[in-house]
Amino acid sequence: MIPPGVYYGTMKSKTGSPTIEANTWEAFEREVLGAKVPVIVDFWAPWCAPCRMVAPEIDAIARAKGDAIRVVKVNVDKNRDAAYKYQIASIPTVALFQGGELLHSSIGAKPRRMLEADLKL
């Protein structure tokens, strides 16, 4: 069963924000490291309740930023390479990448304002 707030593939979520799945290293390189716009990466897992709690907050940020930002979801159980490379030890971890570099990150389920402050958006 797919938990509420979890979306698979490149599609629009129920809240209207685009979400992109990057569950292989190749997809991560293409969708995050190769992106021309800043990328919010949501490192999550389907069994993680706090991950589902933070998803609407990330969707709200994505809607507010529009095309100026991309949102990518990385299931850490499927894309262990990305989780290992960026030392993701706790989920949810929400990270901001730009120009292929990790700029800022936030650990734990937080409201939108705290996420924006942690990510310096």
Catalytic residue IDs: 48, 51
Chain-centroid distance, C-alpha 70: 9
Which amino acid, one-letter code, is at 24? Answer: T
Alpha helices in the chain (DSSP H): 25-28, 49-65, 80-85, 112-119
